[in-house]
């Protein structure tokens, strides 16, 4: 599976872009939310060990290295870091984003991008709410809970360094490839 590219036959990319300052149709927002909800439903595993974290982390390193992506990669269970690396071009800022995005995915038990997108339904952003502590949380794409079937989320997989939707899609690509090799 590769990162989704816009279909040239559709004309300009009509999928919601969370980084765009332009007004976008709510239908596009709802469509992206639906896509991520389907990803959550299909990207579930029977088990996840520290060895699996290493394999998944190395898969992300391979994807990032072959594409020369300036990313930080992190897999953790709460405070227990199972895998972490910064590829060439990643900065200390990416480490801060990793912390905040993984904390968001863990807190809400759903991908950090989805948290941010749901906050936009009806206008506004989750960050506009005083109760959302942006020093601790980031509702930006790139962190995805690792779900065990029948259990729920047990870890988070996070990428930082690309536009938020690209961070999210890279994690989904890796989780899909990992799932396909495990099952």
Q: How many CA atoms lie within 13 A of 119 on its CB side?
A: 23
pLDDT score for 129: 82
Which of 110, 104, 120 is closest to 31 using CA atoms? 120
pLDDT score for 128: 76
Phi-psi label, residue 17: left if phi above 0, alpha if psi -120 to 50, beta otherwise = beta
pLDDT score for 12: 44
**Residue 139 neighbours by CB under 8 Å, 6+ apart:** 104, 112, 113, 115, 116, 119, 125, 126, 127, 132
pLDDT score for 84: 98
Cα–Cα dist 157/102, whole Å: 7
pLDDT score for 39: 97
Cα–Cα dist 155/157, whole Å: 7
Q: What is the pLDDT of residues 39-55, one digit of tens each?
A: 999 999 999 999 999 99
Please identify every stretch of the chain with a pLDDT value under 50, giving residue numbers as ranges.
1-12
pLDDT score for 88: 98
Strand order in the sheet with 143-148: 44-45, 143-148, 152-160, 72-77, 80-86
Q: Are 57 and 177 in contact (CB under 8 A)?
A: no
Q: What is the pLDDT of residues 144-169, one digit of tens each?
A: 999 999 999 999 999 999 999 999 99
pLDDT score for 123: 80
pLDDT score for 183: 60
Residue 53: exposure state from Cβ atoms within 10 A (0-12, 13-18, ≥19): buried
User: What are the phi and psi torsion angles at 51 (to 5°)?
Assistant: -65, -40
Q: Are 53 and 154 in contact (CB under 8 A)?
A: no
**pTM, full prediction:** 0.89
């Amino acid at each position: 599976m590769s990162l989704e590219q816009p279909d040239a036959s559709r004309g300009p990319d009509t999928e919601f872009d969370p980084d765009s300052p332009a007004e976008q149709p709510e239908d596009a927002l709802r469509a992206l939310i639906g896509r991520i909800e389907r990803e959550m439903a299909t990207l579930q595993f029977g088990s996840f060990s520290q060895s699996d974290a290493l394999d998944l982390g190395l898969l992300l390193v391979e994807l990032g290295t072959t594409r020369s992506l300036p990313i930080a990669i992190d897999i953790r269970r709460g405070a227990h870091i199972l895998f972490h690396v910064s590829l060439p071009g990643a900065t200390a800022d990416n480490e801060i984003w990793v912390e905040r995005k993984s904390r968001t995915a863990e807190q809400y038990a759903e991908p950090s991008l989805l948290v941010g997108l749901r906050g936009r339904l009806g206008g506004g952003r989750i960050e506009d709410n005083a109760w959302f502590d942006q020093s601790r949380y980031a509702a930006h794409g790139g962190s995805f809970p690792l779900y065990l079937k029948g259990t729920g989320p047990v870890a988070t997989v996070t990428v930082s360094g690309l536009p938020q939707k690209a961070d999210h899609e890279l994690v989904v690509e890796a989780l899909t490839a990992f799932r396909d090799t495990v099952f």
